Amino acid sequence: MECSFCPRNCKVNRAEQAGFCRVKGLTIARVGIHEWEEPCISGTHGSGTIFFSGCNLRCIFCQNDAISRSAYGREISVDTLGKLMLYQQSVGAENINLVSR
Protein backbone atom coordinates (compact mmCIF):
# COMPACT_ATOMS: atom_id res chain seq x y z
CA MET A 1 0.00 0.00 0.00
CA GLU A 2 1.29 3.48 -0.87
CA CYS A 3 1.78 5.72 2.17
CA SER A 4 0.03 9.07 1.94
CA PHE A 5 -0.43 9.49 5.68
CA CYS A 6 1.14 12.96 5.73
CA PRO A 7 1.57 15.82 3.23
CA ARG A 8 4.96 14.40 2.09
CA ASN A 9 2.84 11.92 0.17
CA CYS A 10 5.83 9.62 -0.47
CA LYS A 11 3.67 6.83 -1.89
CA VAL A 12 6.20 4.22 -0.73
CA ASN A 13 5.11 0.80 0.44
CA ARG A 14 6.15 1.04 4.08
CA ALA A 15 5.95 -2.73 4.45
CA GLU A 16 9.03 -2.81 2.23
CA GLN A 17 10.84 0.51 2.58
CA ALA A 18 10.99 3.71 4.61
CA GLY A 19 9.68 7.02 3.37
CA PHE A 20 10.94 10.55 4.03
CA CYS A 21 10.07 10.01 7.72
CA ARG A 22 12.64 7.16 7.82
CA VAL A 23 10.06 4.76 9.19
CA LYS A 24 9.34 1.36 7.75
CA GLY A 25 6.13 -0.33 8.83
CA LEU A 26 4.51 0.73 12.09
CA THR A 27 7.28 1.69 14.53
CA ILE A 28 6.88 2.94 18.08
CA ALA A 29 9.46 4.33 20.49
CA ARG A 30 7.65 4.38 23.80
CA VAL A 31 4.43 3.29 25.50
CA GLY A 32 3.54 4.52 28.96
CA ILE A 33 1.36 6.54 31.25
CA HIS A 34 2.18 10.24 30.86
CA GLU A 35 1.15 12.30 33.89
CA TRP A 36 2.63 15.59 32.68
CA GLU A 37 0.39 16.47 29.77
CA GLU A 38 -2.01 19.34 30.29
CA PRO A 39 -4.28 18.55 33.28
CA CYS A 40 -7.39 18.34 31.10
CA ILE A 41 -5.68 15.53 29.13
CA SER A 42 -3.83 13.73 31.93
CA GLY A 43 -6.74 13.79 34.35
CA THR A 44 -5.97 12.07 37.64
CA HIS A 45 -4.45 8.81 36.31
CA GLY A 46 -2.42 10.01 33.34
CA SER A 47 -2.65 9.80 29.59
CA GLY A 48 -1.98 6.49 27.81
CA THR A 49 0.77 7.71 25.52
CA ILE A 50 2.13 5.88 22.49
CA PHE A 51 5.07 7.63 20.80
CA PHE A 52 5.49 6.85 17.11
CA SER A 53 9.00 6.89 15.66
CA GLY A 54 10.16 9.04 12.77
CA CYS A 55 9.22 12.47 11.52
CA ASN A 56 8.30 14.12 8.27
CA LEU A 57 10.04 17.44 9.08
CA ARG A 58 13.73 16.89 10.12
CA CYS A 59 14.02 20.16 12.07
CA ILE A 60 17.64 20.75 13.13
CA PHE A 61 16.60 21.86 16.63
CA CYS A 62 14.44 18.82 17.44
CA GLN A 63 14.50 17.86 21.13
CA ASN A 64 13.53 14.26 20.27
CA ASP A 65 16.30 13.56 17.77
CA ALA A 66 16.72 9.88 18.64
CA ILE A 67 13.04 9.19 18.12
CA SER A 68 12.35 11.53 15.23
CA ARG A 69 15.40 11.90 13.00
CA SER A 70 17.02 8.56 13.86
CA ALA A 71 13.67 6.76 13.96
CA TYR A 72 14.63 4.80 17.10
CA GLY A 73 11.96 2.27 18.00
CA ARG A 74 10.49 -1.16 17.44
CA GLU A 75 8.39 -2.25 14.52
CA ILE A 76 5.10 -3.76 15.66
CA SER A 77 1.94 -5.14 14.08
CA VAL A 78 -1.45 -3.44 14.05
CA ASP A 79 -2.69 -6.24 16.32
CA THR A 80 0.04 -5.44 18.86
CA LEU A 81 -0.82 -1.74 18.69
CA GLY A 82 -4.40 -2.60 19.62
CA LYS A 83 -3.20 -4.76 22.52
CA LEU A 84 -1.00 -1.93 23.77
CA MET A 85 -4.01 0.38 23.80
CA LEU A 86 -5.98 -2.15 25.84
CA TYR A 87 -3.00 -2.48 28.17
CA GLN A 88 -2.99 1.28 28.70
CA GLN A 89 -6.69 1.10 29.54
CA SER A 90 -6.09 -1.77 32.00
CA VAL A 91 -3.50 0.25 33.95
CA GLY A 92 -5.84 3.23 34.32
CA ALA A 93 -5.08 5.52 31.38
CA GLU A 94 -7.60 8.34 31.07
CA ASN A 95 -7.33 8.20 27.27
CA ILE A 96 -5.15 6.96 24.41
CA ASN A 97 -2.66 9.62 23.36
CA LEU A 98 -1.10 8.97 19.93
CA VAL A 99 2.03 11.10 19.59
CA SER A 100 3.71 11.66 16.26
CA ARG A 101 6.24 14.35 15.42
Chain residues binding ligand SF4 by CB under 6 A are 3-6, 8-10, 12, 14, 19-21, 23, 56
Cβ 74 to ligand SF4, closest distance in Å? 17
Instruction: Give dist(CA 67, CA 62) in Å, integer.
Output: 10
Q: 46 or 54: whose CB is closer to ligand SF4?
A: 54
DSSP annotation string for 17-57: S--TT---SEEEEEEEEE--S-HHHHTTT-EEEEEEP--SS
Q: 3 or 29: whose CB is closer to ligand SF4?
A: 3
